[in-house]
Amino acid sequence: MESWIAERRRWHFIAVTGMHGVMEAQRDAAFNRALKAADLVVPDGMPLVWIARLRGHPLRRRVYGPELMMTFCEQTNRSTRHFLYGGTTGVAESVAQVLCSRFLGFQIAGTCAPPFRSLTTTEDDEIIERINNSGADVLWVALGTPRQERWMCVHRDRLRIPVVVGVGAAFDFVAGKKCQAPECMRERGLEWLFRLLQEPRRLWFRYLGYGPEFIIRIVREHLSFRRSQ
């Protein structure tokens, strides 16, 4: 990300994707195209890390969206300008306050919380112009999967920001609107259980519907992979 910012030759976008994203890509053609168009897709979920290890790719750990955001903000601090796009009304501003209070000299280029509906052409144009004119080095997009990836892909030819990253619920976590799972649960593949208990009505199908199907698909694929060796 730092090298992309230094080059500033074109924009790049990063998709932070877990089991939910993998399964959405089986049903949502636009989301599938967005993942394939990304410059980098990183595994935000221990099941993907375990599968990678099983296939001989020794990934050390998951790339957790909120952790990626906070680590990058801490390590680049005064040298990088950030734009926060997403969340409900007031959340992006709260995140900006948290980051500025935590990291001395932190630079916020702007914030924007779009309405949770399809934007008009005029609204969309105004937002893109606002982001491009902000002078930001990194655009953090928190619209949730798959909406944020589709948004990044659709606007890739219009945005002039070196790095754009989809971070899902990171804004809510940083602003204290939602509770994060304890690290011991996150690193052992149990974050899904914590989040399901927190928001059962919203997340039940993501985990109890997609979860078993994901396991079945992986088992089939693994058996097919072994037979081809």
What confidence tens digit (pLDDT) does each residue in 20-55 have?
A: 899 999 889 989 999 999 999 999 989 899 988 988
180 with 199: CB under 8 angstroms?
Answer: no
In a domain, 190, yes or no: no
In a domain, 186, yes or no: no
- Domain residue limits at 87: 2-181
In a domain, 82, yes or no: yes
Which helix (H) or strand (E) is 50 found in, with range? Answer: helix 46-54
CATH (domain of 128):
3.40.50
In a domain, 211, yes or no: no
In degrees and rounded to multiples of 5, residue 164 shows phi and psi of -125, 130
In a domain, 223, yes or no: no
In a domain, 228, yes or no: no
In a domain, 224, yes or no: no
Predicted confidence at residue 187, as pLDDT, reads 83
- Number of structural domains in the chain: 1
pLDDT in tens, 88-118: 889 999 999 999 999 988 999 999 999 888 8
Sheet of strand 163-166, all strands in order from the earlier edge strand to the far edge: 40-43, 12-17, 163-166, 138-142, 81-86, 107-112
Q: CA–CA distance from 139 to each of 54, 159, 198 (Å)?
A: 34, 10, 28
In a domain, 222, yes or no: no
